[in-house]
Structure 1
Amino acid sequence: MASPTSIKLDDELKGRVQNVADTHRRSAHWIMREAIQQYVEREEKQEAFKQETLQAWENYQSTGLHSTNDEIENWLNSWGTEDETQAPTCHK
């Protein structure tokens, strides 16, 4: 198990955390753990998206393959309809 970590909060923020904890019938510790977990997950997803975007850009720069905005938009607009189409093929 990891060693304990302490977090220093000013009195105003401590009070706000305690109010949320009381409202949700949870401990302040639970609220802080939940908030930190959600923050870390959000940041990890954002970084993964950034890396995926950079990789896609590098792939485009090396191959020139792409789909246009209109092609993607038409495909997405077909979702859930009787005329649903396949994803557009990348081209130069």
Structure 2
Amino acid sequence: MATSVKLSDDMKKRVQNLADARRRSAHWIMRPAIQDYVEREEKREAFKQDARRAWEEYQRNGVHLTSAEADEWLAKLESGDNAELPKCHK
């Protein structure tokens, strides 16, 4: 599937300069850059969707951890303890 991308003249020059320096084509430079961007944005979108679902679930049932409880658990993990996740509560 062929796709075209409109770039500013400055960006085209930058990509071409990088391609020239690496003795590659502009296409070779752009493909992994686009792939990296899409993968990063997919992860970001999945995180947002997970957060939205968690918020909706909290709105329905009120079950939660306080920030202090979460911080304490994370501090234990960071120090190498095999700490279990605290029980959520209302």
Q: TM-score range by the shorter chain?
A: 0.7 to 0.9
- Report if aligned partners of 1:21, 1:28 keep a CA contact under 8 Å in 2: yes
Does structure 1 residue 90 correspond to structure 2 residue 88? Answer: yes
TM-score by length of 1: 0.83
Q: Tell me, which stretches of 5 or more residues in structure 2 are unaligned?
A: none
Q: Match for 2:76 among 68, 75, 78?
A: 78
Q: Match for 1:26 among 24, 27, 34?
A: 24
Which residues in structure 2 correspond to 1:1-92 (within 5 Å)? Answer: 2=1, 4-79=2-77, 81=79, 83-92=81-90
Structure 1 residues 91, 15: CA separation in 2 closer, same or farther (over 3 Å shift)? Answer: same
Report the Cα distance in structure 2 between the residues aligned to 1:16 and 1:68, rounded to whole angstroms. Answer: 48
Q: Tell me, which stretches of 5 or more residues in structure 1 are unaligned?
A: none
Q: Which moved more, 1:49-58 or 1:73-82?
A: 73-82
Report the Cα distance in structure 1 between the residues aligned to 2:80 and 2:25, rounded to whole angstroms. Answer: 51
Report the Cα distance in structure 1 between the residues aligned to 2:31 and 2:83, rounded to whole angstroms. Answer: 44
Report the Cα distance in structure 1 between the residues aligned to 2:78 and 2:10, rounded to whole angstroms. Answer: 49
Q: Percent identity?
A: 58
Structure 1 residues 70, 12: CA separation in 2 closer, same or farther (over 3 Å shift)? Answer: same
Structure 1 residues 72, 23: CA separation in 2 closer, same or farther (over 3 Å shift)? Answer: farther
Structure 1 residues 11, 24: CA separation in 2 closer, same or farther (over 3 Å shift)? Answer: same
SS of match in other structure, 1:67: coil
Taking only aligned residues, the RMSD between alpha carbons, in angstroms, comes to 1.8
Q: Which moved more, 1:66-75 or 1:33-42?
A: 33-42
